[in-house]
Amino acid sequence: MYFRDLGPQIGWTMVFLAECIGPLLIYLLFYFRVPYIYSHRYALTSSPHQVVRLACACHTCHYMKKLIETIFVHRFSHGTMPLRTIVRMSIWAKGKHRAYSREFKDYPSVRMAIIPLVL
């Protein structure tokens, strides 16, 4: 039996928590106009516009929901995932896509499908 050091890894729960906490805190930093970002004249004031307040409430609720969902709902099968497994899963997904597109001849090519998104 051989053991291999896969390097430092963090658990999936921490990955998802960081994924949710980052956008939440960054948005709130700009919403509350923290003095490190804005001049002291605008420090710790929020926008007078109602739509900005609504956007902040919706954004905060969305990411709080994701945080609560990650903590209380998600269960992960393995503690961590090494980088080579991500590469292997990407190759598997590409093969799955090729098999799907061979089965359905009318399936649009990836380049044609992305054109409306870019326009």
**Same domain (yes/no): 61, 19:** yes
pLDDT tens, residue by residue, 13-62: 777 787 788 889 888 888 877 666 666 676 666 677 888 889 889 999 99
**Same domain (yes/no): 28, 63:** yes
Q: How many domains does the chain have?
A: 2
**Same domain (yes/no): 25, 49:** yes
**Same domain (yes/no): 92, 54:** no
Cα maximum dimension of the chain: 65
Domain that holds residue 59: 10-78
Residue 106 domain-assigned (yes or no): yes
**Same domain (yes/no): 20, 64:** yes
**What pLDDT shows up at residue 107?**
62
| Count of beta carbons in the 10 Å neighbourhood of residue 20 | 19
Helix, strand, coil in percent for the chain, rounding step 5: 65, 0, 35
Residue 1 domain-assigned (yes or no): no
**Same domain (yes/no): 14, 67:** yes
Whether 26 and 34 have beta carbons less than 8 Å apart is answered as no
**What pLDDT shows up at residue 47?**
72
Mean pLDDT computed over 103-118: 59
70/3: higher pLDDT: 70
**Same domain (yes/no): 29, 45:** yes
**What pLDDT shows up at residue 117?**
47
**What pLDDT shows up at residue 118?**
52
Residue 48 domain-assigned (yes or no): yes
pLDDT tens, residue by residue, 63-90: 999 899 888 887 766 666 665 665 676 6
Asked if pLDDT for residue 115 goes beyond 70, the answer is no
**Same domain (yes/no): 46, 89:** no
Please report, rounded to a whole number, the percentage of residues in the chain having pLDDT higher than 70: 56
Who contacts 42 (Cβ-Cβ below 8 Å, separation ≥6)? Answer: 33
Residue 42 domain-assigned (yes or no): yes
Residue 40 domain-assigned (yes or no): yes
Average per-residue pLDDT for the chain: 74
Where residue 6 falls among pLDDT bands split at 50, 70, 90?
A: low
**Same domain (yes/no): 114, 70:** no
Both tokens of 79, joined, read 């503690």
> What Å distances lie between residue 87 and 44, 81, 84, 92, CA to CA?
44, 11, 5, 9
